[in-house]
Amino acid sequence: MGEYQDRYEFPDLKFNIQRGKKRDFRMEKREKKDMFVWPDLVVMEFLTAVALTIILIVWALLVNAPLLEVANPGISENPSKAPWYFVGLQELLVYFDPWIAGVMIPSIIIICLIMIPYVDINPRGSGRYTFSLRKFALINFNIGFLMWLVLILIGYFLRGPDWQLYWPWESWTVVKKVEDNLWSLDPVTGLTGLALYFGLGMIIPGLVSREFYRKCGPARYTIVMLSILLMYFVPIKIFLRLAFNIRYVLVTPWFNI
């Protein structure tokens, strides 16, 4: 061991091995709780990798990846489902036009995710599981995450031929009637409704909690509230469709929402 010691110097190592006498009390307290990566963590990582390899091999032996007939542009699969992680978006296609469900919603989700650390200025609750310190952030994020999951579950398990709702115990051979009594709000009502939703949604939380508005500042407040209002607009639209057969909330010559 000695021969290695004098030949190779690791300057930054000296701090760890021959510690100085003067030390920060907090650092010392922390270091007592520290663990070595070698071998403790490396062994854990190795065992995880081994376990996962076994799981993957067993899974691959038991279940074959699907391979249907060769691609045929003339015959559509019925139902043709996207892979499970996109089924949530496919489910949204029932309620929104493709440019919203397929383009705007994913883009907005990604942009909002990216902005999270810059708009969440609550300094508390970093590095541990807590609910009481970050109620607002956690409630909204988890509802969004849950929506993604629920839409996937509905799309994956409850949709049958023609993308109709089939309970798991119902036979897919029974043909379901397509809802053909959909109607749209007239432009004035629709515009008023949207203006009320977004306008009040922007103003009321700021009035109820002046503290929240003051801490965020106008720019952050607008971004946060707009993102949240957009997120809750999705289940609201779904509810309007299911409860009142409303197809579009807003009809314009260029696009429909």
Partner 1 sequence: MDVSADKQRINRRMFLKITGWGSFFVTIGIFIAGTVRFLFPRVLFEQPPTFKIGFPKDFLPAVPDMRQGTLRVYEQWKKDHSVWIVREGNRLYAIYAKCTHLGCTPNWFADERIFKCPCHGSRFYSNGVNFAGPAPRPLDRFRIFLASDGRITVDKSRIYRFRDFDKQGAYLYLEV
Partner 2 sequence: MSRKKSLWKRIRRSQVWRSIFRHDYTDTRKNRILQIRSNIFLHIHPARIPSHAGKIRFTWCMGGITFFLFIVEVITGILLMFYYRPVIEYAYQDMKYLRFDVPFGIILRNIHRWAAHLMIATIMLHMLRVFLTGSYKPPREFNWVVGVNLLVITFLLSFTGYLLPWDQLAYWAITVGANMIRATPFIGHEGPFALVDKYNDIRFMLLGGTEIGANALLRFYVLHVIVLPLTAAVLVGVHFWRIRKDGGISRPL
Tell me which of 28, 40, 179, 186 binds partner 1, using CB under 8 A. Answer: 179
Provide the 10 A C-beta neighbour count for residue 112: 19
CB 117 to partner 2: min, Å = 4
Q: Give the count of residues interacting with partner 1 (CB under 8 A).
A: 20
- Residue 34 partner contact from partner 2, partner 1, none using kind-dependent CB cut-offs of 5 to 8 Å: partner 2
Burial of 256 (0-12, 13-18, 19+ CB in 10 A): middle
Query: Looking at beta carbons only, is 32 or 177 nearer to partner 2?
Result: 32
Map the footprint of partner 1 across residues 78-107, applying CB under 8 A.
78-80, 93-94, 97-98
Rounded Cα–Cα distance for residues 191 and 61 (Å) = 56
Query: Looking at beta carbons only, is 202 or 228 nearer to partner 2?
Result: 228
- Rounded to 10 degrees, the C-alpha dihedral 23/29/33/34 comes to -20
Question: Which tokens go with 95?
Answer: 């309620």
Tell me which of 34, 132, 168, 171 binds partner 2, using CB under 8 A. Answer: 34
Q: Which stretch binds partner 2 (CB under 8 A): 42-50, 153-161, 177-185, 209-217?
A: 42-50
- Residue 86 partner contact from partner 1, partner 2, none using kind-dependent CB cut-offs of 5 to 8 Å: partner 2
- Which residues are CB-neighbours of 13 under 8 A, at least 6 positions away? none
CB 193 to partner 1: min, Å = 21
Among left, alpha and beta (phi > 0; psi -120 to 50; other), residue 122 is beta
Per residue in 65-92, is it b (16+ CB within 10 Å) or e — as a string? Answer: eeeeeeeeeeeeeeeeeeeeeebbbbbb
Question: Which tokens go with 23?
Answer: 């030390």
Tell me which of 74, 83, 123, 168 binds partner 1, using CB under 8 A. Answer: 74
Q: Which stretch binds partner 2 (CB under 8 A): 39-47, 182-190, 208-216, 218-226?
A: 39-47
- Residue 173 partner contact from partner 1, partner 2, none using kind-dependent CB cut-offs of 5 to 8 Å: none
Site string for partner 2, 147-186 (x = CB under 8 A): ----------------------------------------
On the question of a cis peptide bond just before residue 79, with omega within 30 degrees of 0, the verdict is yes
Q: What is the residue whose two structure tokens read 């919603």?
A: 105
CB 121 to partner 2: min, Å = 9
Provide the 10 A C-beta neighbour count for residue 212: 14
Tell me which of 94, 108, 136, 138 binds partner 2, using CB under 8 A. Answer: 138
Rounded Cα–Cα distance for residues 193 and 200 (Å) = 10
Residues that bind partner 1 in the complex, under the rule CB under 8 A? 73-80, 93-94, 97-98, 161-164, 178-180, 256
